[in-house]
Amino acid sequence: MVTRSTTVLVVGATGSIGSLVVAEALRQGYLTRALARNHARAAHIAPGAEVVVGDLTKVDNLTAAVEGVDAVIFAHGANGGKEQSEAVDYGAVRNVLAALDRYPARIVLMTTLGLTARDSEYNRATAAFDWKRRAERLVRASGRPYTIVRPGWFDYHAEDQHKLVMLQGDTRRTGGPADGTVSRQQVAQVLVHCIRSAAADRKTFELVAESGPAQKDLDPLFAGLRADEPGSLDGVLDEPNMPLEDEPARVRVDLRLAAEALRRI
């Protein structure tokens, strides 16, 4: 079980969400390890974090980053086209899971609201939704304890929007802030809270904020969610519009390898 005396690795630690996750994990008393591409990019990371350099696109570069960790929070994201989406949104998750091997770490993965909208203009241009969804599938296939958080639009919220709402089924698909908004700081708080919440285990949900005060205890929100079905690759209530048999062969191989790693834990 993850406790506050254990080590948390933050992937994407130099990003706008990841840097907040590092600070929040430290605030909550966790031993916090921040993965960065190089030391220069880690210059603004909160003091107290252990900075470890590694390349997310190379499994061999991640050995030191994952050694002895008890939980991994993925807060990374690609900024490019289809190749970057595969290499970063998906590849980073695949490579970290492969590097973890027999370490029984808990996984908290941040993806995005709307990722099941495969026919959206954005997804057709970038394939980002598809690759993020495949990353989710790897986490579920790995058999590790996990939580998958799909935030709404960052920082489009009104000043009084602090009441967190957790949704399932990914049904909001306007492709804009009307789908739901939430602050980056609250996203970071939820991601960190997930690593020690039994109520959040095997839950996949969309995260938005509505008018009202922030809740002090998130566990009742987690408890009200349905867990993902055992053995399912998709989130509970998700539209089944990505048939496994239509997936690239390399993705099907990655899913098999992720599942096989569980038997070595």
pLDDT in tens, 64-79: 999 999 999 999 998 8
Residue 25 reports pLDDT greater than 60: yes
CA distance to 74, 99, 209, per residue, from 175 (Å): 23, 35, 17
Q: What is the pLDDT of residues 212-247, one digit of tens each?
A: 999 999 999 999 999 999 999 999 999 999 999 999
Tally of structural domains, the chain: 1
Cβ pair 203, 171 in contact under 8 A: no
Task: State the greatest distance between any 2 C-alpha atoms of the chain, in Å, as a whole number.
Answer: 48
Say which residues have a Cβ less than 8 Å from residue 183's Cβ, sequence separation at least 6.
Answer: 154, 155, 157, 162, 209
Q: Give the type of residue at 157.
A: H
What would the pLDDT profile of 96-129 be if each residue is shown by its tens digit? 999 998 788 999 999 999 999 999 999 999 999 9
Look at residue 168 in the predicted model and tell me its pLDDT.
98
**Residue 220, domain member (yes or no):** yes
Query: Distance between CA 138 and CA 150 in Å, rounded?
Result: 16
The pLDDT of residue 244: 97
Query: Does 4 score more than 60 pLDDT?
Result: no
- pLDDT above 90 for 30: yes
Does the pLDDT of residue 1 top 60, yes or no? no
Q: If pLDDT is split at 50, 70 and 90, which confidence band does 197 have?
A: very high
Map residue 71 onto helix, strand or coil. strand
Q: What is the DSSP letter of 86?
A: I
Question: What range does the domain containing 89 cover?
Answer: 7-262
Cα distances (angstroms) measured from residue 164 to each of 23, 53, 146, 186, 205: 20, 34, 20, 8, 12
pLDDT tier at 81, thresholds 50, 70, 90: confident
First CA to last CA distance, the chain: 14
C-alpha 140/C-alpha 120 separation (Å) is 24
Q: The CATH number of the domain where 256 resides is what?
A: 3.40.50.720
Is 1 inside a domain boundary? no
Higher-confidence position of 136 and 1: 136
For the chain, strand residue ranges (E) read 7-11, 31-36, 50-53, 71-74, 106-110, 146-151, 153-154, 163-167, 181-182, 203-210
**Residue 262 clears pLDDT 70, i.e. is over it:** no
Specify the DSSP class assigned to residue 67.
Answer: T
User: In this structure, is the dihedral angle defined by the CA atoms of residues 179, 117, 132 and 231, taken in order, positive or negative?
Assistant: positive
Give the separation between CA 4 and CA 123, rounded to whole angstroms: 38
Q: Please state, in angstroms and rounded to a whole number, the distance separating the CA atoms of residues 135 and 92.
A: 9
Q: Confirm whether 2 is domain-assigned.
A: no
